[in-house]
């Protein structure tokens, strides 16, 4: 149900409409005289008569007085009751112990939104012939009346697909003993003032309902405009995304998304869509920033050539060679260190730490002080440390 309202204030819109509301009717319910009740009755079409001033006033003398749709004890009732001291206008009709009365703007009921439209003047008008006016929002029960096309109602609220309205042309039935009738000429000022107060309250109720509907329509239009902005921003972002990354500029789209989110209500679809778009834009902005960092990074200097590898003797100050033990039974045994077929030096171990004869034929590294005795042609090394490099050759 789509309803477009005038942006004018509700009080101004309704002021002219109230002046044109008919206040009496000529139609009567079929079957009321027989007292058959609402079930078998055939609803009749309302024909509006010219408005006229009240000829009498009725003061309600009983609290919680029910407003009935028809003058029977088992008639359905409207969802509204009168209190003690309330004022109504009797139509002059009485049946089965019930009196027909009129409220300032009529009884409250319902018209389906498929068969009525809320106009720019704040009035709900029927579209189509024989539209049902019902006492509650359901099509499963007989209506109170059927009305002609263009029949005017005063908006009270909206319940689902139904307009809740007051029907100025529809009277209600109350127990006759619940109302005391005063001719207009005999009505005291307090009675008239009470009636005028009821008129004012019901007008205020209608104005508030129309203002609320106008505000709802305005908010819906605002959200629709924001939704259009989100779609435009999305298209703008897609256009930027299609460019090479170096040429993309998504910052304006990001700023617009942030501003739009601040205008959208929490939890609304528009805000959710804008937040989703903002997240996508920010991811792309981060990708662009990373690309700029990579492109702006200075080239790394070429590494200096590695210095030539220096072979380091793991034995350091050790002298390496093959141990050869010479001598026999009649000559002293002498240990020598050979390398490449040449004798490098004689070796001994004055500390007794190593038995050099055990290393005969092995490649070793030795370290220790060396000297050259005057009587000898070879240097002599006193072994303080010995490392075996390889086993004897076979």
- Euclidean distance between CA atoms 230 and 207, whole angstroms: 34
**57 and 175 housed in the same domain:** yes
**27 and 171 housed in the same domain:** yes
Residue 170 lies in a domain: yes
Contacts of 109 (CB under 8 A, 6+ apart): 78, 133, 134, 135, 136, 144, 164, 165, 166, 167, 170
The CATH number of residue 346's host domain is: 2.40.50.140
The pLDDT of residue 299: 64
- Euclidean distance between CA atoms 367 and 385, whole angstroms: 5
In this structure, how many other beta carbons lie within 10 angstroms of the beta carbon of residue 368?
A: 18
**149 and 40 housed in the same domain:** yes
CB 169 within 8 A of CB 106: yes
Question: Would you write out the chain's pLDDT as a tens digit for each of its 394 residues?
Answer: 444 444 444 444 444 444 444 333 333 333 333 333 344 344 433 333 334 567 888 899 999 999 999 999 999 999 899 999 899 999 989 999 999 999 988 999 999 999 999 887 778 999 988 999 999 999 999 999 999 999 999 998 889 999 999 999 999 999 999 999 988 777 778 888 888 888 888 888 888 888 888 888 888 899 999 999 999 999 998 998 888 888 888 889 899 999 989 998 998 899 999 999 999 999 988 888 888 777 776 666 666 666 555 444 455 578 888 888 887 777 788 888 898 888 888 889 998 888 888 888 888 889 888 887 666 677 888 988 988 888 876 5
**336 and 384 housed in the same domain:** yes
**100 and 181 housed in the same domain:** yes
The pLDDT of residue 309: 53
The pLDDT of residue 370: 82
Question: What is the number of structural domains in the chain?
Answer: 3
- Euclidean distance between CA atoms 92 and 206, whole angstroms: 27
- Euclidean distance between CA atoms 32 and 16, whole angstroms: 35
b (16+ CB within 10 A) / e for 166-201: bbbbbbbbbebebbebbeeeebeeebeebbeebeee
Residue 208 lies in a domain: no
**225 and 329 housed in the same domain:** no
Residue 309 lies in a domain: no
Residue 197 lies in a domain: no
**17 and 117 housed in the same domain:** yes
**107 and 231 housed in the same domain:** no
* Domain end (from 295, 329, 353): 295
The pLDDT of residue 286: 87
* Domain end (from 133, 167, 187): 187
What pTM was computed for the model? 0.53
Residue 81 lies in a domain: yes
* Domain end (from 263, 295, 327): 295
**73 and 156 housed in the same domain:** yes
Residue-number span of the structural domain to which 120 is assigned: 10-187
The C-alpha angle with vertex 96 and arms to 90 and 98, in degrees rounded to 5, equals 30
- Euclidean distance between CA atoms 83 and 164, whole angstroms: 21
The pLDDT of residue 2: 44
- Euclidean distance between CA atoms 358 and 148, whole angstroms: 134
Residue 225 lies in a domain: yes
**147 and 74 housed in the same domain:** yes
**270 and 369 housed in the same domain:** no
Residue 152 lies in a domain: yes
Tell me the chain's radius of gyration from C-alpha atoms.
56
**275 and 380 housed in the same domain:** no
Output the DSSP codes for 80-107: EEE-TT-EEEEEEEEETTEEEEE-TT-E
DSSP H or E run through 11? helix 10-19
218: which 2 tokens?
């305005």
Residue 205 lies in a domain: no
- 123 bridge partner residues: 154
């Amino acid at each position: 149900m789509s309803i477009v309202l005038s942006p004018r204030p509700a009080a101004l819109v309704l002021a002219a409409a109230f002046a044109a509301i008919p206040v009496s009717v000529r139609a009567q319910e079929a079957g009321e005289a027989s007292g058959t009740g609402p079930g078998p009755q055939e609803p009749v079409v309302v024909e509006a008569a010219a408005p006229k001033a009240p000829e009498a006033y009725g003061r309600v003398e009983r609290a919680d007085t029910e407003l009935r749709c028809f003058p029977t004890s088992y008639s359905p009732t409207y969802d509204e009751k009168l209190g003690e001291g309330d004022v109504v206008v009797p139509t002059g009709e009485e049946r089965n112990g019930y009196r027909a009365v009129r409220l300032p703007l009529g009884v409250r009921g319902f018209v389906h939104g498929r068969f009525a439209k809320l106009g720019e003047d704040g009035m709900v008008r029927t579209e189509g012939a024989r539209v049902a006016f019902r006492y509650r929002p359901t099509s499963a029960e007989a209506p109170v009346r059927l009305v002609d096309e263009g029949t005017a109602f005063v908006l009270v609220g909206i319940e689902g697909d139904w307009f809740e309205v007051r029907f100025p042309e529809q009277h209600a039935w109350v127990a006759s003993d619940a109302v005391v009738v005063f001719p207009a000429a005999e009505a005291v000022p307090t009675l008239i003032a009470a009636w005028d107060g009821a008129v004012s309250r019901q007008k205020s109720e209608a104005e508030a309902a129309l203002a609320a509907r106008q505000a709802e329509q305005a908010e819906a239009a605002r959200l629709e405009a924001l939704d259009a902005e989100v779609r435009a921003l999305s298209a703008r972002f897609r256009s930027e995304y299609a460019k090479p990354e170096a040429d993309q500029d998504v910052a304006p789209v990001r700023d617009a998304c942030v501003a739009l989110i601040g205008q959208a209500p929490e939890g609304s679809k528009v805000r959710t869509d804008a937040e989703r778009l903002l997240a996508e834009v920010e991811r792309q902005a981060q990708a662009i920033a990373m690309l700029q960092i990579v492109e702006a990074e200075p080239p790394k200097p070429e590494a200096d050539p590695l210095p030539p590898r220096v072979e380091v003797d793991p034995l350091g100050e050790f002298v390496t060679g093959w141990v050869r033990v010479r001598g026999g039974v009649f000559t002293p045994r002498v240990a020598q260190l050979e390398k490449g077929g040449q004798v490098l030096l004689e070796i001994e171990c004055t500390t007794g730490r190593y038995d050099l004869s055990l290393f005969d034929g092995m490649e070793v590294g030795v370290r220790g002080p060396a000297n050259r005795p005057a009587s000898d042609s070879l240097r002599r090394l006193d072994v303080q440390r010995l490392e075996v490099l390889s086993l004897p050759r076979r």
